[in-house]
Amino acid sequence: MPRPLVAADFAGDSHEVAQALIGATLLVDGVGGVIVETEAYDREDPASHSHGGPTPRNQAMFGPPGRAYVYRSYGIHWCLNFVCREEGHGAGVLIRALVPTHGLDVMRERRGLHDERLLCAGPGRLGQALAITHALNGHRLDRAPFRVLAAEGTPPVVRGPRIGISKAVDVPWRFGLAGSKFVSQRFR
């Protein structure tokens, strides 16, 4: 039986948590799948929303670990992060892709397409498939509607530079499940 993750599982550095989350299962209202791609962000990281200190938007990043930080991307997409490290620090892990395993029909309807590979391949697509919205910002990850289950075993993890940022472009803080075809982009 997979173990539900609790706040203590998110107390580490964001890059450690990001790596440990590969292979974990994420469900929102029973819909979701296996995490295959994450990115780590930190207060000391120019690419992070938390870099400049707390603001109205990023306040959840400075809250307790083990909660959600949801932000709107490009005025269009909702993206989901898991807050980590300790309260007040401003670290988080962006959930970038899943293998869809639960609620395929619901996700197909929300996304308006049939191709399983593109249901949750990218933070915006994942947000749409799981119906992530601002209403979940700051919400605990060990309570409904969230369910996060630890990876079983030690899945093979690959890493590389993060995607879509203009600062700290070379830091290898993007993590993926080796060989997965459900990531948003191939790892080099």
Partner DNA sequence: CGAACGATTAGCT
Partner DNA sequence: GCTAATCGTTCGA
Residue 79 within binding range of DNA, rule CB under 7 A = yes
DSSP per residue over 99-167, as a string?
Answer: EEEE-HHHHHHHHT---GGGTSBSHHHHHHHTT--GGGTT-BTTSTTEEEEPPSS---EEEE--SS-SS
Residue 153 within binding range of DNA, rule CB under 7 A = no
**Torsion, Cα of 78, 82, 87, 90 (10° steps):** -60
> Least distance (Å) from DNA to the CB of residue 107?
12
Q: Would you state the structure tokens that stand for residue 161, as one six-digit string?
A: 């530079």
Q: Would you state the structure tokens that stand for residue 18, as one six-digit string?
A: 């990001």
Candidates 16-24, 100-108, 157-165, 175-183: pick the segment binding DNA (CB under 7 A): 157-165
Interface pick for DNA out of 85, 125, 147, 159 (rule CB under 7 A): 125
Interface pick for DNA out of 4, 12, 64, 124 (rule CB under 7 A): 124
Residue 56 within binding range of DNA, rule CB under 7 A = yes
Q: Would you state the structure tokens that stand for residue 6, as one six-digit string?
A: 């609790």
> Least distance (Å) from DNA to the CB of residue 3?
25
Which parts of this chain interact with DNA (CB under 7 A)?
A: 39, 41, 47-50, 52, 55-58, 61, 69, 72-77, 79, 81, 92, 94, 111, 118, 122-126, 162-166, 184
